[in-house]
Structures are given as structure tokens and as C-alpha cells.
Structure 1
Amino acid sequence: MEYAILGNSQLKISRIGFGCMSLNAGDETSKHIIETAIEKGINFFDTADLYDHGDNEIMLGKVLQQKRKDVIIATKVGNQWRKDGSGWDWNPTKQYILTSVEESLRRLNTDYIDLYQLHGGTIQDPIDETIEAFETLLKQGKIRYYGISSIRPNVISEYVRRSHIVSVMMQYSLLDRRPEETCFPLLKEHNIGVLVRGSLAKGLLVNKPATGYLNYKTSEVAAAAKAVQALTVQGREATQTALQFVLQQPAVTSSVVGIRTLEQLDEAVKTIGTAPLTDTELEKLRNSIPINRYEEHRN
């Protein structure tokens, strides 16, 4: 496994991260998959208080209890479940964040959270109040660092300007190159690490039948998948090609892959050590479909 420092933090995280959202909190298999991931060198685990009404955090906390000093736990806050369980509402207020962290600490069975992330964000939020909450938690030692999970350029730029975030989690893949236009250069300039989700575009770049995705037509998605498949070489198949495309972006620290099976874990981890994409191969991928861009939430 390869590791990299996350932005301006001292967190040395695996370049393949483990996205826990897809795990079944009550399944013994999930425990085995997490333990196997650690054996394979993954040390970064990402969850959220939203997942399974908090049960995802409970499951992760139990599995990592004996390995706490060897792993880096990231969770998220900001989405508040309604009392009737019908859905959730956005709540980035200081009071809610300060209350929610206590619940996450309890569920994760830990005294501190390595990376606490705002799970979304809009330009209409009380951003200074939200930042104040995270800064308070830093001073209290309940979190080591904080970041945001957002794809909105205007929100990201405000947190870069006003806060001490060390990371931004955002969607990025061959089928979603929107961050390249403004977000990646800004974050790279300020040494803020990028945690990528959606590197495989819901599997459309690897093994799922082509269908429309974002602004792309089915035929365009098929063309991108074909370009990925065409770059298969010994030891590097479609999954590794799609992940290498993401990891070779200079702004990206880690690809946080949603893993549900041991097979998916093996495919993701195998990316490290496979042949990197050459400049020519990267260009072939980039030229396989027109680049997309953010049409909303711009500065």
C-alpha cells in the first residue's frame, strides 16, 4: 500500500481508502472485510452519522476498537434524521454539530475523531458559525482535523478562504471531471487534500451496462468505458485503470472506494503496484468523451 499526507494535516492515509457506506452493519462478513482491508494496508475508513441511522458508525467502532491507534477514522455531520425516520434535513448549525459529535464518539467507541467532515453545504449556510463549531471541537481535542464533503465550487472556495479545512471529499472520475476546472487548482494551491468518491462512476467504467450519467448520454458513457477497457495490460484491468486515472491527478490524496465484497477489496488494493498510466494513455482517456463542467453553484 502507498500512503500520503492529507493536506495540511499530519494524517498519513492509504491512497486507497475504505468507504463504509455500502457495508451491512449487522453482517459478520462486513467485519471480516474491514479486518482484511487493514491486513492489506488500508488505514483510512470513512463513514457518516447518516448511514444506517448511525449503525454504520457502531459497526465500524466495534471492528476497529482493538486497532484504534493504527487506523484513521473519518465521519461526517450535518444531515439530521427526522424523528419519524421519513428522511433527513440539512442542519449545519453550531449547536447541532456540537451535539452530534458526542453521539458519533459514543457510537464509534472512541475519544477522538481523526477527520470530522461537514456532510454537504450550501452558500446560504451560516458558514462562520459552522466553522466555529469545528474549531471548538479542535480545541476540545474531540477531533484532530476537519474538512468538508462537497461538490459545490462556491461552497468549497468559502471554506478555503475562511477555515482551516485539511480536506475536501468530492466526486471525481473519467465521467465526472468537473473538479478539474477550478476546484483542483484552488485546493492544490492551498495544500488541501482531495478525497475522491465515485472513482468508478457506479461501476459504469468497469462492469455495469452503459446508461446515462450526469450530462452524458448512454453512447458517451459506453465510449468512456471502452477507452478504459482498451488500456488493459498485464496486471492492470479496468478497475485499476479507472482508479489510476483518479490517483494520478496531482490534487488527489486518496480514492475512497465503496467496498461491499472481498473481491471488490482485492480489485481496489491491486491498483497500488500496477503499472501507472502513461501520458499517452491518460490522453486517450481524456479524449474519449468531452469534458464536463459545473453549471451550478459557481463562484
Structure 2
Amino acid sequence: MNYNILGNSTLDISEIAFGCMSLGNNATENETLIHQALDKGINFFDTADLYQQGENERQLGRALKERRNDAIIATKVGNQWRKDGSGWDWNPSPEYIKKAVDDSLRRLGTDYIDLYQLHGGTLDDPIDDIIETFEQLERQGKIRYYGISSIRPNVIREYVKKSNISSVMMQYSLLDRRPEEEVFRLLDKNNIGVLARGSVAKGLLAGKPAAAYLNYSAEEVSKMAEIVAKFSEDKRTPAQTAICYVLGEPAVRAAVVGIRTLTQLEEAAGLPATTPLTSADRVLLGFELVANYYDQYR
């Protein structure tokens, strides 16, 4: 497994991160899968208080109970479940964040969170107060570092300008190259690491039937999937090729991969042993479709 320092932090994270959102409901199977991931060198686990109304954090915490020092835990805050469980509302208030971090610590069974992330964000949020709250949690030792999960360039710019975020989680793939226009350069310049999710574009780059995706038609998605398969052949699986493309971006420190089965784990963890994409390969893959751009929140 390859490892990268995450932005301005001291977190040395595996370039394949375990996206816990994909875990099922069988706690025993999940614990086994998480232990196997650790054994294969994956040390970065990403969850959120939103997932399964907190149950995702509980299961991750139980699985890591005896191996906490081997793992780097990232979770998220900002989406508050309604009391009746009918859905959630955006709540980035300092009061809620302070309560939520304690709830996450309890569910995870740990006394610190390695990376605490704002799970979204808008320009209408009390950004200065949010930043001060995260800084306070750092001083208290409840979190080690903080970041945001956002695809909004205008929001990202505000946090880059005003805060000490270590990371930004965002969607990035061969079918979503919007961050390449501006955001990657901005984050790289400021030593802020990118955690890329959606590398295989909901499976469309890894064998699922073609369908429209963002501004691309089903025909265009099919074309890209065929090219990815062509570049894979005997070297890699299509999913591995798609992830290789993402990891070839200098600003990206890890690809957050949704893992639910042992087969998916072996495929993701086996990536470092495959034939890497060359720089020329990556350029050729990028030429297949016109890169898309953010048309909102610019």
C-alpha cells in the first residue's frame, strides 16, 4: 500500500481509503472486512454521523476497538437527523457541532477523531463561527485535524482563505473533472489534501450499464467506459484504472472507495500491485470527453 501525508496534517493515510458508507447491516461481516482492510494496509476509514443514523459510526468503532492505534478515523458533521427519523436538515451551528462531536466520539468508542469534516456547507453558514468551533475542538483534543466535504468552489475558497483545514473531500472521476479547472490548483498551492470520492462514477466506469451522468449522455458514458476497459486489459480491472486516473492528480491524497464485499476490498487494496498508468495514458484518457465544469457556486 502507498501512503501520503494529508495536507498540512501529520496523518499518513493510505492512498486507498475505506468508504464506510457502503457497509451493510451485518456487524460481524463488517468487522471482518475492516480487519482485513487493516491487514492489507488500508488505515484510513471515512464515515459520518449521517450514515445509518449513527449506526455506521457504531459499527466502525466496534470493529476498531482493539486496533484503534492502527487506524485513522474520519467522520463528518452538519446534517442533523429529525427526531421522527423522516430525514435530516442542514445544521452547521456551533452548538450542534459541539454536541455532535461528543455523540460521534461515544458511538466510535474513542476519545479523539483524527479528521473531523463539515459535511457540506454554503456561503450563508456562520463560517467564522464554524471555524472557531473546529479550532476549539482541536485545542480540547477531541479532534486532531479538520476539513470540509464540498464540491462548491465558492465555499472551498472561503475555508482556504479563513481556516486551517487539512483536507477537502470532493467528487472526482473521469466523468466528473470539474475540480481540475481551478480547485485542485488552489488546494495544492495551499497544502490542503484532496480526498476524492466517486472514482468509478457509481460503477459506470466499472461495468454497470451506461446511463446519463452529470452533463454526459448515456452514449458518452458508454464511450468512456469502453476506453477505460481498453486501457485496463491485462494490466488492471476497469475500476482500478478509474481509481488510478484519480490518484494521478497531484492534489489527491487518497481515493475514498466504497467497500462492501471482500471482492471489492481485494480489488481496491490490490491497486498498488498493478501496472500504473503512465502520464501519457492519463492524458489520453482525459482527451476522450470534453472536461465538464462547475456551472453553480462558482
Structure 2-normalised TM-score? Answer: 0.98
Superposed displacement of residue 71, structure 1: 0.6
Give distance in 2, aligned partners of 1:213 and 1:233: 24
SS at match of 1:185: helix
SS at match of 1:293: coil
CA offsets, 1:240-289, max 9 Å, x none?
A: 11010000110100001000100011111111121111232112211111
Give the alignment of 1:196-215 within 5 angstroms.
Answer: 196-215=196-215
Which residue does 1:76 correspond to in 2?
76
2:2 counterpart of 1:16: no
Give distance in 1, aligned partners of 2:97 and 2:162: 18
2:4 counterpart of 1:7: no
CA offsets, 1:21-49, max 9 Å, x none?
A: 01124432111111110110000000000
Superposed displacement of residue 94, structure 1: 0.5
Superposed displacement of residue 233, structure 1: 4.0
2:218 counterpart of 1:218: yes
2:238 counterpart of 1:241: no
Give distance in 1, aligned partners of 2:258 and 2:245: 17
Q: Is the 8 A contact 2:43 2:72 kept in 1?
A: yes
2:94 counterpart of 1:94: yes
SS at match of 2:249: coil
Give distance in 2, aligned partners of 1:272 and 1:127: 38
Q: Is the 8 A contact 1:20 1:259 kept in 2?
A: yes
Q: Is the 8 A contact 1:26 1:59 kept in 2?
A: no
Which residue does 2:113 correspond to in 1?
113
Superposed displacement of residue 50, structure 1: 0.4
Give distance in 2, aligned partners of 1:239 and 1:26: 25
2:126 counterpart of 1:135: no
In structure 2, what residue type is equivalent to 1:181? Answer: E
Task: Provide the aligned length of Structure 1 versus Structure 2.
Answer: 298
Name the Cα RMSD after superposition: 0.8
Which residue does 2:297 correspond to in 1?
297
SS at match of 1:56: helix
CA offsets, 1:43-66, max 9 Å, x none?
A: 000000000000000000000011
Which residue does 2:50 correspond to in 1?
50
CA offsets, 1:129-188, max 9 Å, x none?
A: 111110110010000000000000000000000000000000000000000011100000
Give distance in 1, aligned partners of 2:251 and 2:283: 18
SS at match of 1:124: coil
2:148 counterpart of 1:153: no
Which residue does 1:67 correspond to in 2?
67
Q: Is the 8 A contact 2:235 2:274 kept in 1?
A: yes
Which residue does 2:269 correspond to in 1?
269
Superposed displacement of residue 117, structure 1: 0.2
